[in-house]
Amino acid sequence: MNTKHKTGTSILLILMATVFVSNQVSYGQSLLTADDPITENGLTTLSVLIPFSRGLEFYAQSSTIELLGVYRFETQEDFFWGGGHLITETDGKAFASDFAVGLAIRIYDTQDGESLTWQFVRPDGTMRGTYYTWTYDLDTDCWQGNTWPWTDCGDAEHPYLMNIRHTLVMVINSSDIPGIDDYDPPGIWTINFLKNGALLYTEQFELVPVPKLIIKKAAMVSPNELGIGIEVEYPAYPDYEEKPLYVKFSATINGMPVEKIIPVDEFIESIGLGEVWGRGQNQMFDINGNLLPTTPLRIDLRDPDGSPETEATVPKFTDNETFQLAGVAYCDDIESKLKSKESEIEVDILLPVVVLHGYIDPDGYPLAWWKGGSLIAYEVAYKNLSEYLVSGGYTHESTWDDGTDEYRTLWDPSDFIYSDPRDYGATTIENELDRLLTDAWEHNYASKVNFVGHSFGGLVARHYASVRSENVRKVITVGTPHTGATRFFENAFTMSRAAFEEMVQEGDIMQWAIPKYDCTYLKNKSTIEYLNPLSVSPLFKNTLTTAQGSGVAYYSIYGSGYSTPRKIFLVQNGDWYKERGKGETGAGDGYILAESASAFGSSMPPIPRGKNAQHAVLLNNTTVKTNVLALLRQE
């Protein structure tokens, strides 16, 4: 055996017990800071961190070993950066929610040939034991491990300071899943430290179990209440007997910090220590694991903490609201160590959406609109869009099966059909939408809506947003004639002048569909010349404002794969005109030109020719439905 001495060299060895689920290699650092006495007296310090190995046999030069104490580390940051606490501060207890537990010792006046072994003994007396060997090279002042090749001799500033960078870890399993018991058992654990096979130190600490909590679901379950579904377990351990149990939830919702503490006995009639509550079908979840409106865990956004002394209210939503909800289960006092690790879930609350239909000719066919009878393709498109939005997180049903008022976020033509534009003006439709939104907001926690308007419905949404911008967040138009439609003139000149002017005067919003582009041409035998429609009738004027509502976002979706009327050729017919011959066409959806449908708001890529790509059924096009949902969810 080499008997050389290197006086003045010391080593700080921190032997860690990690309370953390991991099978990965960890990294070590010194437990003690530069201000610790270990750096005094001119001693050169070598620091080694061994995270909770099952055991360690260490060949070192050692003549003095000093016990510094057993430490607990609450977080991973504490573990890496020396933020441990002596367990004497917690009556000799460490907790399953801690990140690590460790024994710190100091070794100095080193010699070759010393054998150091660390043992960790479970409460039942079984040993956790795996051995690693390191040797110290006196000639190079470097430590080398025999389980992997590395050499670290420090640097110019710290020539003898080094950290073990690849320490194989055997960690304590501290499963956070209620009912899962594959973790190291609670009770009195023993740490033995041996030198040359002889017991040098024995230290003990109590490993105390903590509650387990998982937030499984969280969603609005009524117009004002956030419902929560959890699984929770409180340990069958003396520290929890005859003490009050609680769950605490916290979040920042629409900019407002929210905190709610709920005593367990308020939502669980009887819970046994060591039992899992909330798993399977119960008052929180149905047989498929869906959150029920009957869940007893609720936060009323009008009075989040439930205290009569406070008047804090979460502001009504004006956009989609996404936030992190955190939960902790604890015993007796939130400041105690008898609490679970924090469980967190993302909550997504969608702003309501109203789908507005296009122009309907009530004389053309009877309307079924989901109320019985056979649906035509035009109606099927709306129905399928609604079903697609429901699959994307929106709620359309007005009540739960038990009659409880549901948090509702979708209205479509099965709920609302605006008045015939031929008979009513803009004011009438404004008032109708005011009433619809007032009713809609009784079913959710919003103060704005999004509109999806198909064809003429997009013009209705645009107008409403311009006069009621405080009520609207987004307007998404699909196949909407923003600068009018040539089809309007085709229909107008099939009527008499008197009938046309009566229709436009009674239903002034019909003028919103009059083309703003040149499309009427007078065709003679040998010439074709532009015919200004205002010279035909002063009512041929598009009166829809181009103003955008303050704070409203606009998007347009349109088709471009079909030949669509662009120019119409006319001949004199008394004091009126009639169409003569086939006009010219442009790209569009067969009814509305692409140039018109894309003329307002941010345009999405055009929908090419294909399945459900023509005007009447655009809402049933897969790409259209995908884009609508994406735009609605977009921040």
Model confidence pLDDT, tens digit, residues 390-443: 999 999 875 444 445 579 999 998 888 887 777 778 899 999 999 999 999 999
> Which amino acid is located at 210 in the chain?
V
Residue 140 lies in a domain: yes
Tokens 């096979």, located at residue: 197
d(CA 337, CA 94): 9
If asked whether residues 184 and 217 sit together in one domain, one would say no
The boundaries of the domain holding residue 107 are: 9-208
pLDDT band with cut points at 50, 70 and 90 for residue 310: low
Q: What angle do CA 612, 614, 616 make, to 5 degrees?
A: 90
Is pLDDT of 272 > 90? no
pLDDT band with cut points at 50, 70 and 90 for residue 146: very low
**In 3D, which of 506, 493, 322 has the Cα closest to residue 419?**
506
Among 79-83, 140-144, 416-420, the range with the most confident prediction by mean pLDDT is 416-420
Measured between alpha carbons, how far is residue 273 from residues 101, 265, 331, 341, 524 in Å?
26, 13, 12, 18, 95
Residue 545 lies in a domain: yes
Report the CATH number at residue 310.
2.60.40
pLDDT band with cut points at 50, 70 and 90 for residue 88: confident
Is pLDDT of 586 > 90? yes
Q: What angle do CA 259, 264, 265 make, to 5 degrees?
A: 130
Specify the length of the chain in residues: 635
Among 315, 349, 383, the domain-final residue is 349
Tokens 């406070």, located at residue: 310
Is pLDDT of 316 > 70? yes
Residue 505 lies in a domain: yes
If asked whether residues 550 and 562 sit together in one domain, one would say yes
Tokens 């035998």, located at residue: 525
If asked whether residues 266 and 219 sit together in one domain, one would say yes
> Which amino acid is located at 17 in the chain?
A
Is pLDDT of 171 > 70? no
SS (H, E, C) 171-184: CECCCCCCCCCCCC
User: Any residues with CB less than 8 A from the CB of 476 and at least 6 apart, and which?
Assistant: 450, 451, 452, 453, 555, 556, 557, 628, 631, 632
If asked whether residues 313 and 367 sit together in one domain, one would say no
What residues does 189 pair with on adjacent strands? 205
d(CA 493, CA 501): 11
Among 174, 208, 242, the domain-final residue is 208
pLDDT band with cut points at 50, 70 and 90 for residue 334: confident
**For position 306, what pLDDT does the model report?**
66
If asked whether residues 589 and 449 sit together in one domain, one would say yes
d(CA 82, CA 370): 67
Higher-pLDDT residue of 197, 634: 634
**Across the chain, what does the average pLDDT equal?**
78
If asked whether residues 218 and 204 sit together in one domain, one would say no
Residue 102 lies in a domain: yes
**For position 70, what pLDDT does the model report?**
79
d(CA 58, CA 610): 74
Query: pTM for the full model?
Result: 0.80
If asked whether residues 340 and 361 sit together in one domain, one would say no
**For position 370, what pLDDT does the model report?**
54
Is pLDDT of 466 > 80? yes
Residue 4 lies in a domain: no
Burial of 458 (0-12, 13-18, 19+ CB in 10 A): buried
Other beta carbons within 10 Å of 377: 11
Report the CATH number at residue 374.
3.40.50.1820
If asked whether residues 172 and 44 sit together in one domain, one would say yes
pLDDT digits (tens, 9 = 90+) for 553-585: 999 999 999 999 999 999 988 889 999 888 899
Coil, strand, or helix at residue 354?
strand
If asked whether residues 231 and 245 sit together in one domain, one would say yes
Tokens 């750096």, located at residue: 39
The DSSP output letter for 618 is: G
If asked whether residues 202 and 217 sit together in one domain, one would say no
Q: How many domains, the chain?
A: 3
Higher-pLDDT residue of 178, 111: 178
Is pLDDT of 151 > 50? no
Among 158, 173, 208, the domain-final residue is 208
Higher-pLDDT residue of 49, 451: 451
d(CA 455, CA 470): 23
Residue 52 lies in a domain: yes
Residue 2 lies in a domain: no
If asked whether residues 392 and 531 sit together in one domain, one would say yes
> Which amino acid is located at 565 in the chain?
P
Q: Which of 45-49, 277-281, 319-323, 527-531 has the lowest mean pLDDT?
A: 45-49
Sign of CA dihedral 80, 86, 90, 94: positive
Q: What angle do CA 512, 514, 518 make, to 5 degrees?
A: 140
Find how far residue 136's CA is from the centre of its chain.
52
Is pLDDT of 352 > 80? yes
**For position 218, what pLDDT does the model report?**
96
CA dihedral 482, 485, 488, 491 (to 10 degrees): -150
pLDDT band with cut points at 50, 70 and 90 for residue 545: confident
**For position 394, what pLDDT does the model report?**
95
Tokens 């404002």, located at residue: 545
pLDDT band with cut points at 50, 70 and 90 for residue 292: confident
**Residue range 40-64: mean pLDDT, rounded:** 38
Residue 1 lies in a domain: no
Is pLDDT of 46 > 70? no
Alpha helices in 33-109 (DSSP H): 76-81
Q: Which of 144-153, 181-190, 347-356 has the lowest mean pLDDT?
A: 144-153
If asked whether residues 316 and 385 sit together in one domain, one would say no
Q: What angle do CA 410, 414, 419 make, to 5 degrees?
A: 105
Backbone phi, psi, residue 35, to 5°: -85, -5
Among 207-211, 362-366, 626-630, the range with the most confident prediction by mean pLDDT is 626-630
Backbone phi, psi, residue 76, to 5°: -65, -35
